[in-house]
Chains A and B, each alone.
Chain A
Amino acid sequence: MNNNSFGKKLGRVWSQYSYIFVLLIIMIGYAFTIHSNGNTFKFSHIAAILGSQNTCIVGTIALGMAFVIITGQIDLSVGSSLVLCTGVTIVVFNLTDNVFLMILAALATGALCGLINGLLVGLGKMPPFVVTLGTMLIYRSLTLSVVRKVDPAISGSSSSQFAMISKKANYQFLRMQFGTGKLKFGTFSIPYIFFVFLLVAIILIIVSRKTKYGKSVYAVGSNEKSARLAGINVTWVKISVFVLTGVLVGIASILQACKIGNVTPASSGQSYEMYAIASVVLAGVSMAGGKGNMLGVIFGALSYTTINFIIVSIPGLSVDIQDTFQGLVLIIVILIQTAGPAIKESFQRSRKRRLASAKAE
């Protein structure tokens, strides 16, 4: 009996905080790999994970993706809109050398990309998968077609890329101090951009838990019909999460510009939509909508980055095979998350049947 209730408790904690366990297990795996390479696992390894573009840039996008997925939708265009936004952001910087205008341009472009998705889905009543598949192609190709035609004095690069011009007055601050700089605590140091991600995450955790808007997002994903009959403007909620995601892509584009300093429309942000979805899934958010903890997305993003780091640090593993391992780990994690409750349920059902038949006799 005692044993049983302990098992139940463990099951509940596991299903509620699975994202923490997932990160812990993956971290241990990472430490193990480092050790087997003959090095010691240090805080700098963790700091590298925190400041990685996979954590901060993809993570910021994943926060928006989580909202979209909680409403039961999907946004495949985020990688392409990141490229478009970063292009605009860098061009505005190169033209104005003004930090404020650059941020404004980034957020506005992101919001616009999201709004287009949202309107097509919300008012056009088209499936989000198809709409964002379309805009995914459009946003990237637009950026690609523009980059070659822009004067290098504006694009900042003579090749097919947008790059921040290093002669501008604010370059030093944005790139060197903010983008790649770190906050030092004694011997530890954490990259600044991680704090941007963290701040955005905290705001969205509050939105999801403490605001009336946040609750309506969950309600729409959980039972759209009930939500509508409770007075929730379902169409508006669905549009709003796309706009929110767009704004977050805008923030991510600022991080991309400041950390990397450039964007290549042909290759940057490739598959970011998949990485963002993977982070959301690792965070334990249900793809069916209505369920999921925004706090988990922080852990999800970190888990995903760590998986990457493990794969990179295994000697003799070719870069080409990396995605195979990423895919495998993702499937295994999801298998554990979905199979766990399913096994539990079938166990409960068989017990109920046994009880019923015992009663009948």
Chain B
Amino acid sequence: MTILEMNHISKSFGGAKALSDVHLSIEKGEIHALLGENGAGKSTLMNILTGVIPADEGTITFLGKQYPSPTIQQMEAAGIAFVHQELNVINDLSVSDNIFLCREIKTKFGLIDQKEQLKRTRQLFEDLGVDMNPSAMVSELKASEKQLLEICRALYADAQLLILDEPTTSLSNNEIDHLFGILRRLKEQGKSFIFISHKMPEVFAISDRYTVLRNGEFVAEAEGFIRDTDPHAITSFMVGKQYVDTEVYQPRPLGDVVLKLEGFTGEGFEDINLEAKRGEIIAFTGLAGCGASELMQTMFGVLPSTGGTFSVYGKPLQGPVVSFMKNSVAMLPSNRKENSVVPDMSILENFYLAEHEISKRKKPFINTKEELARYSAQKEALRIKAGNSSDSISSLSGGNQQKVFLARWLNIGADILLFDNPTQGVDVGAKEEIYKLILDFAQQGKTVIINTLEIPEIQKVADRCVVFYEGKIVKIFDHSEVNEHNVMMYSTNAIETTREGSSHE
């Protein structure tokens, strides 16, 4: 029996088409994988389904009833629950308090009837086969238990269809098995799930059917039973034929090894061994949470390393951020607004802040004339489009802000440049410019490492591409071997699944 039908769904934001003519149908008692790259439109589709945003076109039918303009409350009442990636549970309340949050059972005096709530929670857990103490504090639960708690909360509210948005990102393998066991049991009880995940092994372990979205479009041939397909085919559906617009990449002669990681270990990654040469551009990639970003932050002293060495020009580096800077390492952090921008300061101030930490001992006073000269030189070299240097940093577009921060690091004379997701929140034109700059830096003999999820980006600039999976390097590709399919195979660990599959046969 089909419980959900979404037909001809289209949605545009401004001029950009996020979804066009998308279909999705869910059967009763199935786990349905919704697949696609970042930005393929999965979240938009789910937001439409749960009433967060309205669709421009299309129809939604759930349990035989049409919802022309669904609201969040309506869809919740109808029995659709969204279990978010970030856990929406309240740590300072007990398990049962969380389940009854906003629908508390009250005594005749208007107080919460703890006894009754605990009793019903216990009953619920028994029915679902969940082994959890209803009176435990949520802060003491494991991540998987919190995930389960959210699912139980939705089920208590009599949800028929649960959307699980990358439910396993914060879970260990054992916890994932536990979660999957419960999902299978719930499925037999007739509950349906939409399962969003980037991890191929999990998709193949748990899902019954799948739907693939690509650039906001429904991939017609990519819908069916998981048992009839394989990770290779699905990866191809997700990637499609990628159109690489302008070819800017040029190989250049590389110099000596300048950067070395030996058994480097820290929070989120372990035993990393890698060398980089003068003038080389290396891309780190992998799924969110694969450890590449943490590695980069540890290579700049932001996070502590717990083992191994990171050396630049043969000198092992450690200590606070500034000591990395003094050894010509610079990092452009991800999430510009949170980690780069000093919002109350001008463009010039944002520019010179880092350099001061190196020069302040010898020259404690600011020489505005000198600073302006240095800024103008960088502004020209990086083609920063900005008005007055005393304007607020927030007056600039994302791309130009990012260029100011590139300038910040060039200004300290760094020649090991670590860029964590440098084109995040930057429009297409500015992206191209940043790629050109990265290639220029390499041409000038700087070593650049970029961490990115976007494979076309890697194809444009990187000499080598290092793929991470769960904190380890799983594969290093040369420039010519980099394509969406190859990288996806390794970053989703589909390669392992395929190998296991074929060895069984």
Q: State the interface size on chain A (CB cutoff 8 A).
A: 22
Could you tell me if A223 and B342 are in contact, using CB atoms closer than 8 angstroms? yes
In the complex, chain A residues whose CB is within 8 Å of the CB of B342: 218-219, 222-223, 226-227, 230, 290
Q: Find residues 234-255 in chain A having any chain B CB closer than 8 Å to their own CB.
A: none
Bound complex: CA A233 to CA B322 (Å): 8
Bound complex: CA A233 to CA B321 (Å): 8
Could you tell me if A218 and B358 are in contact, using CB atoms closer than 8 angstroms? no
Pick out which of these stretches binds chain B: A75-83, A205-213, A322-330: A205-213
Q: State the interface size on chain B (CB cutoff 8 A).
A: 30
Pick out which of these stretches binds chain A: B42-50, B192-200, B281-289, B359-367: B359-367
Bound complex: CA A194 to CA B349 (Å): 33
Bound complex: CA A226 to CA B333 (Å): 9
**CB within 8 A of A226: which of B325, B341, B357, B364?**
B341
Bound complex: CA A227 to CA B344 (Å): 12
Bound complex: CA A213 to CA B366 (Å): 9
Name the residue on A nearest B357 (C-beta).
A231
Q: Does A86 contact B (CB under 8 A)?
A: no
Could you tell me if B353 and A215 are in contact, using CB atoms closer than 8 angstroms? yes
In the complex, chain A residues whose CB is within 8 Å of the CB of B161: none
Name the residue on B nearest A70 (C-beta).
B344
Name the residue on A nearest B366 (C-beta).
A210
Bound complex: CA A222 to CA B339 (Å): 12
Bound complex: CA A74 to CA B383 (Å): 42
Given contacts A211-B366, A226-B342, contact A231 B322 (CB under 8 A): yes
Bound complex: CA A291 to CA B342 (Å): 11
Could you tell me if B359 and A212 are in contact, using CB atoms closer than 8 angstroms? yes
Q: Scoring A residues 160 to 183 as 1 if CB is less than 8 Å from chain B, else 0, what string do you get?
A: 000000000000000000000000
Could you tell me if A213 and B344 are in contact, using CB atoms closer than 8 angstroms? no
Q: Scoring B residues 346 to 361 as 1 if CB is less than 8 Å from chain A, else 0, what string do you get?
A: 0001001110111110
Could you tell me if B339 and A216 are in contact, using CB atoms closer than 8 angstroms? no
Q: Find residues 272-308 in chain A having any chain B CB closer than 8 Å to their own CB.
A: 290-291
Q: Does B340 contact A (CB under 8 A)?
A: yes
Q: Find residues 38-93 in chain A having any chain B CB closer than 8 Å to their own CB.
A: none
A98 to chain B, nearest CB (A): 32
A19 to chain B, nearest CB (A): 17
In the complex, chain B residues whose CB is within 8 Å of the CB of A112: none
In the complex, chain A residues whose CB is within 8 Å of the CB of B343: 222-223, 290
In the complex, chain B residues whose CB is within 8 Å of the CB of A218: 342, 344-345, 349
In the complex, chain B residues whose CB is within 8 Å of the CB of A344: none
Could you tell me if B339 and A225 are in contact, using CB atoms closer than 8 angstroms? yes
A125 to chain B, nearest CB (A): 15
Q: Find residues 179-226 in chain A having any chain B CB closer than 8 Å to their own CB.
A: 210-213, 215-216, 218-219, 221-223, 225-226
Could you tell me if B353 and A232 are in contact, using CB atoms closer than 8 angstroms? yes
Q: Does B449 contact A (CB under 8 A)?
A: no
Could you tell me if A229 and B341 are in contact, using CB atoms closer than 8 angstroms? no
Name the residue on B nearest A227 (C-beta).
B342
Name the residue on B nearest A236 (C-beta).
B320
Given contacts A215-B356, A231-B325, contact A210 B365 (CB under 8 A): yes
A280 to chain B, nearest CB (A): 16
Q: Does B331 contact A (CB under 8 A)?
A: yes
In the complex, chain B residues whose CB is within 8 Å of the CB of A213: 360, 364
Could you tell me if B339 and A226 are in contact, using CB atoms closer than 8 angstroms? yes
Could you tell me if B365 and A219 are in contact, using CB atoms closer than 8 angstroms? no
In the complex, chain A residues whose CB is within 8 Å of the CB of B366: 210-212, 215
Could you tell me if B353 and A223 are in contact, using CB atoms closer than 8 angstroms? no
**CB within 8 A of A225: which of B338, B344, B354, B363?**
B338
Q: Does A12 contact B (CB under 8 A)?
A: no
Could you tell me if B344 and A231 are in contact, using CB atoms closer than 8 angstroms? no
Could you tell me if A226 and B321 are in contact, using CB atoms closer than 8 angstroms? no
Q: Does B302 contact A (CB under 8 A)?
A: yes
Could you tell me if B354 and A231 are in contact, using CB atoms closer than 8 angstroms? yes
Q: Does B408 contact A (CB under 8 A)?
A: yes
Could you tell me if A216 and B356 are in contact, using CB atoms closer than 8 angstroms? yes
Sample of 14 more A-B contacts, CB < 8 Å, known A229-B300, A232-B357: A211-B365, A215-B349, A215-B356, A215-B366, A218-B344, A222-B342, A222-B345, A225-B338, A226-B341, A227-B342, A229-B340, A230-B353, A230-B357, A231-B322
Interface residues of B (CB under 8 A from A): 300, 302, 320-322, 325, 331, 333, 338-345, 349, 352-354, 356-360, 363-366, 408
Q: 7 closest A-B pairs (Cβ-Cβ)?
A: A212-B356, A231-B357, A222-B344, A212-B360, A290-B344, A230-B354, A231-B322
Instruction: Provide a sorted-by-A list of 29 A–B residue pairs whose CB atoms are within 8 angstroms.
Output: A211-B364, A211-B366, A212-B359, A212-B365, A215-B349, A215-B353, A215-B356, A219-B342, A221-B344, A222-B342, A222-B345, A223-B338, A223-B343, A226-B338, A226-B340, A228-B302, A229-B302, A229-B340, A230-B354, A230-B357, A230-B408, A231-B321, A231-B325, A231-B354, A232-B357, A233-B320, A233-B357, A290-B342, A291-B344
